[in-house]
Amino acid sequence: MTGYFHDIAPIRFEGPDSSNEFAYRHYDPDEVVLGKRMEDHLRLAVAYWHSLAYEGADPFGGRTFDRPWYGDTMADARRKADAAFDMFAILGQPYFCFHDADVRPEGASFAESRRNLDEICDVFAAKMEQTGTKLLWGTANMFSHRRWMAGAATNPDPEVFAYAAACVKACMDVTHRLNGENYVLWGGREGYETLLNTDLTREADQAGRFLSKVVEYKHKIGFKGTILIEPKPQEPAKHQYDFDVATVYGFLKRFGLENEVKLNIEQGHAILAGHSFEHELALAASLDMLGSIDMNRNDYQSGWDTDQFPNNTPEIALAYYEVLRAGGFTTGGTNYDSRVRRQSLDPEDLILSHVGAIDVCARGLKAAAAMLEDGGLEKARQDRYAGWDKPEGQALLDQPLDEIAAAVEAQGIDPQPRSGRQERLENWVNRFV
Amino acid sequence: MTGYFHDIAPIRFEGPDSSNEFAYRHYDPDEVVLGKRMEDHLRLAVAYWHSLAYEGADPFGGRTFDRPWYGDTMADARRKADAAFDMFAILGQPYFCFHDADVRPEGASFAESRRNLDEICDVFAAKMEQTGTKLLWGTANMFSHRRWMAGAATNPDPEVFAYAAACVKACMDVTHRLNGENYVLWGGREGYETLLNTDLTREADQAGRFLSKVVEYKHKIGFKGTILIEPKPQEPAKHQYDFDVATVYGFLKRFGLENEVKLNIEQGHAILAGHSFEHELALAASLDMLGSIDMNRNDYQSGWDTDQFPNNTPEIALAYYEVLRAGGFTTGGTNYDSRVRRQSLDPEDLILSHVGAIDVCARGLKAAAAMLEDGGLEKARQDRYAGWDKPEGQALLDQPLDEIAAAVEAQGIDPQPRSGRQERLENWVNRFV
Amino acid sequence: MTGYFHDIAPIRFEGPDSSNEFAYRHYDPDEVVLGKRMEDHLRLAVAYWHSLAYEGADPFGGRTFDRPWYGDTMADARRKADAAFDMFAILGQPYFCFHDADVRPEGASFAESRRNLDEICDVFAAKMEQTGTKLLWGTANMFSHRRWMAGAATNPDPEVFAYAAACVKACMDVTHRLNGENYVLWGGREGYETLLNTDLTREADQAGRFLSKVVEYKHKIGFKGTILIEPKPQEPAKHQYDFDVATVYGFLKRFGLENEVKLNIEQGHAILAGHSFEHELALAASLDMLGSIDMNRNDYQSGWDTDQFPNNTPEIALAYYEVLRAGGFTTGGTNYDSRVRRQSLDPEDLILSHVGAIDVCARGLKAAAAMLEDGGLEKARQDRYAGWDKPEGQALLDQPLDEIAAAVEAQGIDPQPRSGRQERLENWVNRFV
Amino acid sequence: MTGYFHDIAPIRFEGPDSSNEFAYRHYDPDEVVLGKRMEDHLRLAVAYWHSLAYEGADPFGGRTFDRPWYGDTMADARRKADAAFDMFAILGQPYFCFHDADVRPEGASFAESRRNLDEICDVFAAKMEQTGTKLLWGTANMFSHRRWMAGAATNPDPEVFAYAAACVKACMDVTHRLNGENYVLWGGREGYETLLNTDLTREADQAGRFLSKVVEYKHKIGFKGTILIEPKPQEPAKHQYDFDVATVYGFLKRFGLENEVKLNIEQGHAILAGHSFEHELALAASLDMLGSIDMNRNDYQSGWDTDQFPNNTPEIALAYYEVLRAGGFTTGGTNYDSRVRRQSLDPEDLILSHVGAIDVCARGLKAAAAMLEDGGLEKARQDRYAGWDKPEGQALLDQPLDEIAAAVEAQGIDPQPRSGRQERLENWVNRFV
């Protein structure tokens, strides 16, 4: 233990009546839900960047936090890793996720940065071995350094594309080495600030080629994890190409990659794109593209990515309902892409923010499972579309327009609307959340 | 002439110094721009629904307008047609667009509605012959009547799907008969109010089948126009499936229809989806899906479809820049999907709102043409991506990830950012608008 | 009983384990919460306009509902009143609210409209006497008819101002006669569509004068209820003058009415103004202006007023927390300004939408009461500001700038930030909701 | 000259036909507009923070710019001042604006920071004397340093309040010494992240007391400039107390400061609050609170403060129309609170971004002046309200409600709506922009 969290004992499950803020009230990893341990359903992961690397800055102010591991040396990076694994232990979390830039100092050259990454991953490997913590996914940060200001794969400068390729290769290598279960691409700068200087056709082509290479390389090295794209509509860019689930689907179809790549869907990004989280999840499931989730919370009224810890159980229940309905996670899991507010300065804030999030995820999961077991919603849905399961409904799908039209006239078809029962279904949901 | 507009003489071009509000200051149909008459570039069309059928209601109040043609009989429909063609004549507009529900009364049965439509289209045919006015596109209103409340093609009730098929067939027939140059589908209720009662997989499949039928029927009857989908993200529905250009592209790819269907893109809908109009146009052009435009204006700060007449020339110039850069319209054109505000009660308001819109379109087009002729923007864009035209750039697209990574290390590649020059390009644009 | 709801028995409390959708699971009117019956805390009211008068139209479609009382005659109005009181009885609701236009047909003249209103209020009086149902508030609809299109009190035409004065007087009279506990003004058209034709100075002056007359008239007739203004930022108008709580406060101060008028605050309007509901409530309480609430729910992602039935308990708990912290309602109460979705066609939808809302209000109230009784939040808040309760803190408020500055330099004051503990407080809240 | 801009000659007016990007096409300081030199109308000011201190960071990436004056020493601060005045000279700008933190390094104590500020202001004084550049306004940055994370005047910790008082006093002193024409307060952290830990009543009281002290101190030192508050609704805070013009008005009335303080209104902040810029200007003018403007541009579709250089002439014309209609600036002026995009790396970008902005301001001003001289809009507005200038209209304002109601019935008043002519007025505006 580094001592940073020295006062804080590992968090244990104490049940819903506990008023101990350092206990889980709902998260009991071993509780069996729909035939599976809760831990195995949720597959919770701590986000290294927010929990270890974020310093409390916002667009109008600098660092507010004061952590002993901040700094630019490999020694700092090792200290950060120590603190990270202390934190995982306190929380009892099975997984973590990281970007290269979160875990190692930038080197003077790409080679040095890559060596730094390899070295810190040796540290991780040892700690993971020792503690049983696993890697949900790795990724390359291709947005913070100034070289990425105009994009990575979609950069107007081929050298940046090349550098991006090298970064992703290096991160895939360590993700593979650490038995990461997925590899994520977030195209934070794949987009534009102004259309005036942007060639959409070229940039899409570059992005398609780049992703194809990533898929090829995955197969070459025998990485069995899933390649995931994380949609976001804008911010930092004015427009980001991986706008939402539907947009990424079109992109993958365009480049023939729809069977190779799935999605990592974030609540906050869904909201910024004008969608509910459950919409994005349900759509991805419907398109067989649901991979993993970033379970944070975005302020609906702040037009930027707030990455708050989730805390609204009814919303979380609807999200997990879609996950469970789609069969649950396979390689994916629940990464909090959440960070404490910049006024939450203390080690306790860092721990308790996670505790609260874990508990609402547990509550949400249990509510979702109960809804699925009850079956009321699925029954209502089936009833609503029942006409389509009849022979006439099925036949209609294959008939040509003029034949259908003739039948409408001949039979005097005059469809009568039936109630959509929205409020009754909402009330039904409220029985479980 | 019906007499409704009796005081208003046909609008003539008088040049930019005119202070006559009943004159065009910028729109001279015969002025040659980039080698083509302005009229032939813009292909302006009056929207029957807003200009003739809208009664001035909003969600908090009823009819404010008082037009002599309001009513539910065929006689009213004929009076409306008379007024419409008077209006087209006063404005000197080459095109119009309509929904079935705008032009004919709803019948007691589908057959009667269809006969009403046929009959009013005879009236149109005669008037079009006589005046030379043409039909830019026709469409079926499958959102106003209560039967559509849960969607048309995506309805849970197969009978509604059938009824929708009959409507579209009837509208395609009259559009074909009137030599319409396009046929448009706007899926105003193809979406959902709540995900709780919605089966995304079924509804997408229904939509795909329906559109395939439309395409088949087009070929069957020999309609040479273009089938267009008009994206909109939400309103009236909570979520609409044809969210934006990228979403519709994915949908078309999914059902193999990307070579059969193009897009009708509306400024207001682009904005509601979180995009600039020029983004949607440029993206559609890049995907070879740019068909036609609805050139209105949405209040950026009203989260609903305001359908105002366009009036910001700099924005319009950027829109037409994308249209011209893509080669201009073929079957498409410029439909104002605009309506006067509900306080604009007078016949003069109806005419002058169009006059203002036509003039800003003319100004925008001329500015766009001047920008394209100058070439400054295209030159800057080409320069920015010049590295990709070199052999090394081209080679990069084909190299595998690990080879690129090896080269980055071996050559110590360290890309240096270059200015994106956004403000200089914006200043350049301001020389023309 | 009218028979419209004939199958539906009065809704009874059955407790949280009930799976009967026609029962209250949380609302037990007689349960004592913080020393008061739940019914007396919540003071629930049905909104006549949504529940009886709304026909299911939206901006893209017409009537979907089919109620036997729709129509323009006094007989229809009586039938509507019968259905309304049936509904109140089934729900066991103590209060209702109405606009003049909801309850009586528009007459050929103001006098006839007023007589219609008086007549229907006789009907109400008898039914109220008989059932014990009470009137939470009355109001005048000064936005639906075309005469109001450019505002009521703020209209450019003095005749409209006069007509508005007559309407409000008539509605205040009946509200007074029916022992209404408040009188509400919603300035749906007090605002503008375009600044170009608007004189802000004149319109504010007209509004101030009008409100002063309302206050004078209240005193003249001895009405003991509260005059309430309901803020909303926009829709239908581009800009509405009663934008939000802070704006109305400034308006009242400007015209010296801050001790005479309080606020009726709606969740949906708060959200459209960019605020959380609890913000508006807390601010109103802080300014001693909290009167009554419209407890609906707005889709955060639809930029228009969705007026959905509330269903998110954690949000409702935070709202009632502010109400309780401010001492609870006096003349005010909880009006659902909510309506069923236009696809919810059935009588059951009308009843069950209210049942769900009533239950989440009950849950929210109980959670809020528990939070207040626990005291954890208030304790944390007091601790955070404790420095201000010390003599040095108090002294600071009175010292001039230069003296304070001198002390800062002399004492080398260097304030050290302390954690705001946001996530810990959010976790604490989650213990109760 | 520092040499940083060495290639760039002072920008001169060359007229609208010039294609020299290093020339003014519209800004001719000596051109007389409405009887006053253009320079004296616009009173343009460079914002030190954006143009000199901003390093190109955004929430997802660090510094992109590379300026020789970046650094934390007094020598760096002097180099920055040299560059600043070079820039002012190249642009020929009469004014600048600054925060304390922009111009001096933070010291180890408040006293050292204050001495650093005094010292750099000596540098400014000499340069101002030498070049004739003037100070439009000064201000204190009370949001960047971590001490301000929970607010300045509204901080829960009285020591922060004290420190804030010392900062403002120091900045007012130097602003006074440099003959600044205004002093601005922007409450970037005066607001909250979560209502859960916030006491609105205390914080409002603290803010009122603080502002009173500022006003007292102004009088004490004989500062003749105007005290200005700059509204902004949110970001960085979840909610900021100085939300918009109407909110600040209410605040000032509450603390009796409405005759002492005016407003500095920013386009971007207006938009984030849901208002048009011209709305905020017109409202401030109507309330006699219009002080100065921040003429930038916010992306309407990015929910955060984008602070782009203005470039839409029609919008700028409407803004200056409100300024001119209110009598023009007195102590206020036009500060660009604008910064180059983070990809605009070059010295040329820094200069040309301003050149473009200056030119659109000049175009906008001239268009506004022409509109005002033409008088068409004011005439239309007067006509619309003409009824209120008649004796009956005037009388109405003083009559009680019941007398008016009696007259409405007696006279059978039935107001008939008249067209608001919105589109005709919009067309009229388009003649000038």
User: Looking up tokens 């934008």, which residue turns up?
Assistant: C243
Contact D127, D133 (CB under 8 A): yes
Closest partner CB to A217 (pick from B202, B402, B421): B402
B62: which chain C residues are within 8 Å (Cβ-Cβ)? Answer: 144-146
Q: Cβ B214–A401 below 8 Å, yes or no?
A: yes
Q: What gap in Å lies between CA D355 and CA D386, rounded to an integer?
A: 44
D21: which chain B residues are within 8 Å (Cβ-Cβ)? Answer: 424, 427-428
Query: Alpha carbon of A40 to those of A93, A313, A334: distances in Å?
Result: 11, 20, 11
**Angle at Cα A422 formed by Cα A421 and Cα A425, nearest 5°?**
85
Q: Cβ B144–C61 below 8 Å, yes or no?
A: yes
Closest partner CB to D61 (pick from A146, A301, A342): A146
Contact B103, B117 (CB under 8 A): yes
Kindly indicate the confidence band of residue A291, based on its pLDDT and cuts at 50, 70 and 90.
very high
D61: which chain A residues are within 8 Å (Cβ-Cβ)? Answer: 143-146, 148-149, 189, 236
Cite the DSSP H helix spans in B29-186.
Answer: 38-42, 48, 74-91, 100-103, 110-131, 158-177
Is pLDDT of B30 > 90? Answer: yes
Task: Specify the DSSP class assigned to residue B238.
Answer: S
Q: What gap in Å lies between CA C92 and CA C9, rounded to an integer?
A: 11
C353: which chain A residues are within 8 Å (Cβ-Cβ)? Answer: 423-424, 427
pLDDT at C323: 98
Average pLDDT of the residues in A276-287: 98
Element of type H or E holding D349: helix D347-374
Structure tokens at C298: 């707005």
pLDDT at D371: 98
D350 and A CB contact within 8 Å: no
Is pLDDT of D261 > 80? Answer: yes
Q: For helices B74-91 and B347-374, what crossing angle results, to 10°?
A: 50
Smallest CA–CA distance, residue A177 to chain B, in Å, is 16
- List Cβ neighbours of D7 (8 Å cut-off, separation of 6 or more): D347
Q: What gap in Å lies between CA C118 and CA A270, rounded to an integer?
A: 52
pLDDT at D128: 98
Q: What gap in Å lies between CA B356 and CA B26, rounded to an integer?
A: 10
Q: What share of chain D in percent tops pLDDT 90?
A: 99
B380 and A CB contact within 8 Å: yes
- List Cβ neighbours of D23 (8 Å cut-off, separation of 6 or more): D11, D12, D13, D14, D355
B105 and C CB contact within 8 Å: no
Secondary structure (3-state) at C137: strand
Is pLDDT of A1 > 90? Answer: no
pLDDT at C6: 80
Q: Cβ D146–A62 below 8 Å, yes or no?
A: yes
Give the residue on D whose Cα is nearest the Cα of B421. D344
Buried b or exposed e, range B226-261, using 16+ CB within 10 angstroms = bbbbbbbbbbbbbbbbbbbbbbbbbbbbbbebbebb
Q: What gap in Å lies between CA B244 and CA B283, rounded to an integer?
A: 10
A337: which chain D residues are within 8 Å (Cβ-Cβ)? Answer: none
- List Cβ neighbours of A65 (8 Å cut-off, separation of 6 or more): A54, A55, A56, A342, A345
Mean pLDDT of chain D: 97
The sign of the CA dihedral A155, A159, A161, A167 is negative
Closest partner CB to C407 (pick from D162, D234, D401): D162
Q: What is the DSSP string of D17-77?
A: T---TTEESS--TT-EETTEEHHHHH-EEEEHIIIII--S-BTTB------TT-SSSHHHH
Can you list the pairs that B19-22 forms with residues at least 24 positions away whose Cβ atoms lie under 8 Å?
Answer: B19/D431, B21/B352, B21/B355, B21/D424, B21/D427, B21/D428, B22/B351, B22/B352, B22/B355
Q: What is the DSSP string of D258-303?
A: TTTEEEEEEHHHHHHTT--HHHHHHHHHHTT-EEEEE--B--TTSB
Nearest 10 degrees: Cα torsion D387, D390, D392, D396: 70
Q: What gap in Å lies between CA D1 and CA C388, rounded to an integer?
A: 51
C304 and A CB contact within 8 Å: no
Helix, strand and coil content of chain A, in percent to the nearest 5, comes to 50, 15, 40
Give me the catalytic one of C99, C176, C275, C279: C99
B190, B302, B342, best to mutate vs chain C, most C CBs in 10 Å: B302
Contact C230, C264 (CB under 8 A): yes
Amino acid at C280: E
Pick the CATH number of A31-350 from 3.40.50.2000, 3.30.230.10, 3.20.20.150, 3.90.420.10: 3.20.20.150
Kindly indicate the confidence band of residue D163, based on its pLDDT and cuts at 50, 70 and 90.
very high
Q: What is the pLDDT of residues B197-238, one digit of tens each?
A: 999 999 999 999 999 999 999 999 999 999 999 999 999 999
Query: Alpha carbon of A287 to those of A104, A254, B152, B158, B243: distances in Å?
Result: 37, 15, 22, 23, 16
Chains touching B by CB (3 or more pairs below 8 Å): A, C, D
Q: What is the pLDDT of residues A389-401, one digit of tens each?
A: 999 999 999 999 9
**Angle at Cα C195 formed by Cα C192 and Cα C201, nearest 5°?**
80
Closest partner CB to A400 (pick from B199, B213, B243): B213
Give me the catalytic one of C102, C242, C244, C359: C102
Q: What is the pLDDT of residues B35-58, one digit of tens each?
A: 999 999 999 999 999 999 999 999
Secondary structure (3-state) at C247: helix
Q: What gap in Å lies between CA A229 and CA C173, rounded to an integer?
A: 64
Q: Could you tell me which CATH class the domain B12-374 is placed in? A: alpha beta
pLDDT at C155: 98
Q: Cβ C408–D110 below 8 Å, yes or no?
A: yes
Q: What gap in Å lies between CA D387 and CA C202, rounded to an integer?
A: 12
**Does the active-site annotation cover C99?**
yes
Q: What is the pLDDT of residues A44-73, one digit of tens each?
A: 999 999 999 999 999 999 999 999 999 999
Q: What gap in Å lies between CA B228 and CA B243, rounded to an integer?
A: 14
pLDDT at C57: 97
Q: What gap in Å lies between CA B372 and CA A200, rounded to an integer?
A: 18
Amino acid at D397: L
B143 and C CB contact within 8 Å: yes
Chains touching C by CB (3 or more pairs below 8 Å): A, B, D
Chain C residues 240-279 within an 8 A CB cutoff of chain A = 271, 274-276
Average pLDDT of the residues in A103-128: 98
C433 and A CB contact within 8 Å: yes
B198: which chain C residues are within 8 Å (Cβ-Cβ)? Answer: none
Contact C311, C360 (CB under 8 A): yes
Structure tokens at B177: 């008969």
Give the residue on B whose Cα is nearest the Cα of C55. B146
Is pLDDT of D6 > 90? Answer: no
Closest partner CB to D401 (pick from C213, C249, C253): C213
Q: What gap in Å lies between CA D367 and CA A248, rounded to an integer?
A: 45
Give me the catalytic one of B41, B50, B99, B354: B99
Number of helical (H) and strand (E) elements in chain D, helices listed first: 16, 14
Average pLDDT of the residues in D291-298: 97
Q: Cβ D356–B427 below 8 Å, yes or no?
A: yes
D67: Cα within 13 Å, side-chain hemisphere: 30
Cis ω before B158 (30° cut-off from 0): no
The domain limits of chain B are 12-374, 379-430
Closest partner CB to B408 (pick from A110, A198, A251): A110
A294 is in an annotated binding site: yes
Chain A residues 169-208 within an 8 A CB cutoff of chain B = 169-170, 172, 193-202, 204-206
- Residues of chain C scoring pLDDT < 50: none
- List Cβ neighbours of A3 (8 Å cut-off, separation of 6 or more): none
Cis ω before A236 (30° cut-off from 0): yes
Q: Cβ B359–D21 below 8 Å, yes or no?
A: no
B304, B306, B345, B346, best to mutate vs chain C, most C CBs in 10 Å: B304
B342: which chain C residues are within 8 Å (Cβ-Cβ)? Answer: 149
How many contacts does A have with D, using Cβ atoms within 8 A?
91
Average pLDDT of the residues in B102-128: 98
How many contacts does B have with D, using Cβ atoms within 8 A?
133
The sign of the CA dihedral B174, B176, B181, B182 is positive
Q: For helices D158-177 and C401-411, what crossing angle results, to 10°?
A: 110
Q: What gap in Å lies between CA D274 and CA D231, rounded to an integer?
A: 12
Q: Cβ C402–D169 below 8 Å, yes or no?
A: yes
Residues of D tagged active-site: 99, 102
Structure tokens at D354: 């301003």
**Does the active-site annotation cover A99?**
yes
Q: Cβ C388–D204 below 8 Å, yes or no?
A: no
pLDDT at B6: 80
- List Cβ neighbours of D182 (8 Å cut-off, separation of 6 or more): D136, D137, D225, D226, D227, D228, D264, D291, D292, D331, D332
Q: What gap in Å lies between CA C11 and CA B166, rounded to an integer?
A: 45
Kindly indicate the confidence band of residue D289, based on its pLDDT and cuts at 50, 70 and 90.
very high
Amino acid at A76: D
Query: Alpha carbon of A359 to those of A312, B203, C346: distances in Å?
Result: 11, 35, 39
Cis ω before A391 (30° cut-off from 0): no
Q: For helices A391-398 and B158-177, what crossing angle results, to 10°?
A: 20
Kindly indicate the confidence band of residue D1, based on its pLDDT and cuts at 50, 70 and 90.
low
